[in-house]
């Protein structure tokens, strides 16, 4: 089935980035959220991101207008009824995602593909909220969406090979590369990156200075960003949530570092609260 109309649920960090790259690839796309102010904030973020391209000389004002013209917005997920592909990017709460997929199941065309952008919840558990789990798949974009080339494609237990293939084709049409991952906590990327961040936090517990840990990984391993800087960027609460999810699935080897837990308790979440491993209040 040819994908022409895409419906994105959530206008937050991921939802607006996903909407942007889909519109840039020439699709007609609708971005949904629960409040108009969230939709407007999402649209403004897309506008700003495209303005950066204009500044860099990789996009013209006319092209920006064409891309923005492909984006519609709504506050009603029932408007997904005409969509060929729905990508859900609502908050990382299983019950909420299951509720959304139940609603999508009731309104969407029988041949629509229903995708979730979840970072760590089981795709199968989300798919099983519908009567068509064979058409539900994980399409996991990375943050920032317009920049990162790789996208994880995660088949649920019942997802058909046809839906997986169509999802990969769609990802390629956005000039991105699909990486197929098993439906296990953290898939591939979060599973490996969270383990690195957790162990970097244990290095700090053992007396290493955060700036030395990050410098070592940037200069000795050619990482573009240190693991503790990455933790501050993602948010300690998000990293703890991911680590706990994987601890539940993989056991002892995944126990969150005690320092990570105490930082979350103290509100030292990283950039978003002004303090994490580093101080952002002066920057
Ligand atoms: N932030 C990241 O770095 C990142 C990376 C990869 C994947 N993800 C995943 O993407 C998803 C979204 O994350 P985010 O960071 O964009 O969250 P966010 O909080 O920035 O955005 C979520 C948006 O969904 C909206 N929403 C809530 N309920 C809704 C509903 N019923 N219908 C429509 N919209 C609704 C919220 O109002 C909010 O604007 C999560 O599953 C997250 O795990 C996040």
45 and 149: one domain?
Answer: yes
Of 118, 148, 180, the domain-final residue: 180
Q: How many CB atoms lie within 10 A of CB 169?
A: 11
As a whole number, mean pLDDT of residues 269-273 equals 93
Tell me if 233 is assigned to some domain: yes
As a whole number, mean pLDDT of residues 72-87 equals 98
Cα 246 to middle of ligand 1, angstroms: 20
Residue 13 Cβ < 6 Å to ligand 1: yes
164 and 252: one domain?
Answer: no
Tell me if 280 is assigned to some domain: no
Q: Which pLDDT value is given to residue 283?
A: 62
233: domain CATH number is 1.10.1040.50
137 and 245: one domain?
Answer: no
104 and 242: one domain?
Answer: no
**Ligand 1 atom at minimal distance to the Cα of residue 38:** 39
194 and 248: one domain?
Answer: yes
139: domain CATH number is 3.40.50.720
Residue 277 CB-half CA count within 13 A = 28
Residue 58 Cβ < 6 Å to ligand 1: no
Q: Which pLDDT value is given to residue 140?
A: 98
Tell me if 278 is assigned to some domain: no
Residue 14 Cβ < 6 Å to ligand 1: yes
Angstrom distances, CA of residue 37 to CA of 11, 154, 265: 10, 32, 30
Tokens 């020439």 belong to which residue?
A: 26
Q: Which pLDDT value is given to residue 115?
A: 98
161 and 75: one domain?
Answer: yes
Residue 234 pLDDT more than 90?
no
Q: Which pLDDT value is given to residue 249?
A: 87
Burial of 212-242, coded b for 16+ CB within 10 Å and e otherwise, reads: ebbebbeeeeeeeebbbbbbbebbbbbbbbb
Residue 118 Cβ < 6 Å to ligand 1: yes
Residue 1 pLDDT more than 80?
no
Of 153, 180, 207, the domain-final residue: 180
As a whole number, mean pLDDT of residues 145-162 equals 97
As a whole number, mean pLDDT of residues 82-98 equals 96
Residue 11 Cβ < 6 Å to ligand 1: yes
Cα 208 to middle of ligand 1, angstroms: 34
174 and 209: one domain?
Answer: no
Tell me if 147 is assigned to some domain: yes
**Ligand 1 atom at minimal distance to the Cα of residue 13:** 16
218 and 259: one domain?
Answer: yes
Question: What is the C-alpha separation between 250 and 19, in angstroms, rounded?
Answer: 34
Number of structural domains in the chain: 2
Tell me if 281 is assigned to some domain: no
Determine the structural domain holding residue 56 and report its residue range.
Answer: 5-180
Question: What is the C-alpha separation between 232 and 239, in angstroms, rounded?
Answer: 9
Of 129, 147, 180, the domain-final residue: 180
148 and 200: one domain?
Answer: no
**Ligand 1 atom at minimal distance to the Cα of residue 14:** 16
Ligand 1 mutation target, pool 90, 116, 119, most atoms within 8 A of CB: 90
Ligand 1 mutation target, pool 8, 14, 87, 244, most atoms within 8 A of CB: 14
């Amino acid at each position: 089935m040819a994908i022409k109309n895409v419906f994105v649920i959530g206008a937050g960090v991921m939802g607006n980035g996903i909407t942007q790259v889909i519109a840039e690839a020439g699709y007609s796309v609708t971005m949904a959220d629960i409040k108009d102010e969230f939709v407007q904030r999402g649209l403004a973020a897309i506008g700003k991101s495209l303005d950066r391209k204009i500044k860099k000389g990789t996009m013209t004002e006319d092209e920006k207008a064409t891309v923005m013209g492909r984006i519609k917005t709504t506050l009603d997920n029932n408007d997904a009824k005409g969509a060929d592909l729905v990508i859900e990017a609502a908050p990382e709460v299983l019950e909420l995602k299951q509720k959304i997929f139940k609603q999508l199941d009731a309104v969407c065309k029988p041949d629509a593909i229903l995708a979730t952008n979840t970072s760590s919840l089981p795709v199968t558990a989300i798919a099983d909220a519908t009567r068509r789990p064979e058409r539900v798949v994980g399409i996991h974009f990375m943050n920032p969406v317009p920049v990162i080339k790789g996208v994880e494609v995660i088949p649920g237990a019942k997802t058909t090979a046809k839906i997986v293939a169509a999802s990969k084709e769609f990802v390629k049409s956005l000039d991105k590369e699909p990486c197929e991952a098993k439906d296990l906590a953290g898939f591939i990327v979060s599973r490996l990156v969270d383990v690195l961040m957790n162990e970097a936090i244990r290095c700090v517990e053992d007396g290493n200075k955060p700036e030395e840990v990050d410098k070592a990984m940037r200069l000795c391993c050619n990482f573009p960003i240190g693991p503790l800087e990455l933790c501050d960027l993602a948010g300690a609460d998000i990293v703890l949530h991911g680590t706990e999810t994987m601890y539940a699935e993989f056991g002892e080897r995944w126990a969150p570092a005690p320092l990570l837990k105490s930082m979350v308790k103290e509100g030292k979440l990283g950039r978003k609260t002004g303090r994490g491993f580093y101080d952002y209040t002066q920057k």
